[in-house]
Structure 1
Amino acid sequence: MNDSTPTLPWHVIRQDDNGNRYRVGRYATRAEAEKVVAGLEERGHKQLYWVERLDRRAG
């Protein structure tokens, strides 16, 4: 990664009824990601959504 690459460490994850997980989006701040989760939950989706931080230093 170089200095001109945007850092989007906050991911919104969705888990369906079968336990499959999908990345919904990547965001620069936790607040942005949590706002997306709140919007999805507000619509009455019965899926599970949460925010995770991707740590590029790991691995």
Structure 2
Amino acid sequence: KEETLTLNPRKKVLNLNLPCSPCGKKMCPRKDKPLECLEGIEPDEVLLAMKQLEKKV
């Protein structure tokens, strides 16, 4: 898993580095694993990112 850079220090982008990412589409074109880009990010990863951002505030 990789992280995409953002210019805002109060934001963090989590990214699974999928071949179709970032697609920017409203509907996922993947039939084999639709929405893997969202569902593949674990809740613990989100919580850790939030805690890291709290330290910067």
| TM-score, length basis structure 2 | 0.36
Identify which of structures 1 and 2 has the higher relative contact order when contacts are C-alpha pairs closer than 8 Å and 6+ apart: 1
Could you say which structure has the higher helix fraction? 2
| TM-score, length basis structure 1 | 0.35
